[in-house]
Amino acid sequence: MAHKWTWYSRDGKRAKLIDYVIVNRRLAGSTQDTRVYESAVIDVKNENVSKMNELLEVSRVQDARIGLKITVKKTKSLRLGRSEDEKVTFGIAFTVEGSAFYTIGDDKTIRRWKCETPLEGNIEEVVSTNISKSILLSISHHWRDAKYATAGEVCQIWEESRAQPIRSFLWGVDSLHQLRFNYIETNILSARASDRSVILYDIREKKPLRKVVMKLQCNALSWNPMEAFTFTVANEDYHLYSFDMRNLNAPMNVHKDRTSAVIDVDYSPTVNEFVSGSYDKTITIFEADKGHSRDIYHTKRMQRITCVLWSNDDKYIMSGSDEMNIRMWKARASEKLGIVKERERVALNSAAKLKEKFAAHPQIKRIARHRQVPRHVFNAKKELKAMVQSRARKEANRRAHSKPGTVPYVPERQKHVVREDE
């Protein structure tokens, strides 16, 4: 039995032994010092607009960072060099022109790498390096200017030409775990914090704008590229919430149909839809203005989803999961990829119009709504439905046997928000 440290505190001073590795006695001498993490694929990026068919993925590896450039037909791998102090990579972000990307690690260092064609082989040299005074957990690049933001103990705004941050934001939270710049109002920045809150910043101001505190932890957030003021958060309570940044007292919509904690969310670049990945081992696609899902993807060997991404050409959805695989899905399951002849295009458009015309017919509605789901998801949905009905009956009984007004009616959209601070 090989004993390896598999958990390290954020400051790197404490370590624990969580996992054990069982090896044969004669192979014990060849056992390497490895570390186990909760996910293999931690982030995937397709922010390089000039190369829409390329994807960069970063995994948590002790010896080096691994990047993948994935196209529709082939995959290339590269190994990025690291310092002796860096052991974990936490995030990646492309620059505006797409010629470089940034990575952050657990050694409080921001590194800039070239992203030229062909992207293959080993990359051992770093273009530039910046050192932060605090730990770094997330990074996001401005969509127009040569600026980027990092999150950790504090939110910091950096310029590409400077070695020190130009602005810092702090609002009484232990740590910030994710940053996202707005696609349209590019100076607006959102972050999810460790106190179950989502904080909004304007990088032109000196203080944060406002924040909303949820009842449970938010795991991811994504801005709507079609609506400047709308963003969606993935929550631990199995739901997703779409907010208007001008009014955070209650979400605009509550998106359901999940049976476990939602881990990641990403919007389509051209259609008002988003994709979410969950611990229930499924990928679900929602329309932004609907409370229930449009489609659900699953496969036998896919384990818990850790990250999802909608490609910039609006044709594919990428997912990373615990069994160390990246999968590529069609954004619309029935869509034909490749060249479509004129007669075929006319027939497809005619069929789509017929489905839209008779969408209210009971049989057509049932066929369009039905999805085959795994057995564990089906059973979990039945259990959650029974729990919701039980809570509704209990509330109705309390209201019927209490003094009028003591048990108020609380809308569903207001049940999950604790407060809004400005």
Judge contact between 82 and 67, C-beta under 8 A: no
Residue 153: count other Cβ atoms within 10 Å of its Cβ.
17
191 confidence band (pLDDT: 50, 70, 90) = very high
Residues 92 and 236 in one domain: yes
Residue 85 lies in a domain: yes
How confident is the model over 40-64, as a mean pLDDT?
Answer: 50
Check pLDDT > 80 for residue 64: no
Residues 6 and 93 in one domain: no
Q: What pLDDT score does 25 carry?
A: 56
Q: What pLDDT score does 1 carry?
A: 39
Q: Is it true that the peptide bond before 362 is cis, omega within 30 degrees of 0? A: no
Residues 85 and 205 in one domain: yes
Q: Rounded CA gap, 316 and 173, in Å? A: 36
Residues 175 and 156 in one domain: yes
Residues 134 and 277 in one domain: yes
- Do the strands 326-330 and 316-321 form a parallel or antiparallel pair, or are they unpaired? antiparallel
**Segment among 14-18, 386-390, 403-407 with least mean pLDDT:** 14-18
Residues 164 and 21 in one domain: no
Residue 196 lies in a domain: yes
Residues 213 and 262 in one domain: yes
Q: What is the overall mean pLDDT for the chain?
A: 81
The vertex-66 CA angle with 125 and 23, nearest 5°, equals 125
Full-model pTM: 0.80
Could you read off the pLDDT of 223-246 as tens digits, one per residue?
A: 999 899 999 999 999 999 999 999
Residues 72 and 149 in one domain: yes
Residue 157 lies in a domain: yes
Residue 355 lies in a domain: no
Check pLDDT > 90 for residue 283: yes
Judge contact between 103 and 80, C-beta under 8 A: yes
Check pLDDT > 90 for residue 103: no
Residues 182 and 274 in one domain: yes
DSSP assignment of 278-306, as one string? ETTS-EEEEETT-SSEEEEE--TT---EE
Check pLDDT > 70 for residue 12: no
How confident is the model over 111-121, as a mean pLDDT?
Answer: 67
Residues 31 and 72 in one domain: no
Check pLDDT > 80 for residue 42: no
Identify the residue whose tokens are 């993807």. Answer: 297
Instruction: Pick the more confident residue, 186 or 40.
Output: 186
User: Which CATH number goes with the domain that contains 293?
Assistant: 2.130.10.10
Nearest to 324 by CA among 304, 297, 347: 304
Residues 122 and 4 in one domain: no
Residue 362 lies in a domain: no
Nearest to 288 by CA among 356, 330, 232, 337: 232
Residues 6 and 92 in one domain: no
182 confidence band (pLDDT: 50, 70, 90) = very high
- Residue 346's Cβ-side half-sphere holds a number of Cα atoms within 13 Å equal to 2
User: In terms of residue numbers, what domain contains 261?
Assistant: 41-330
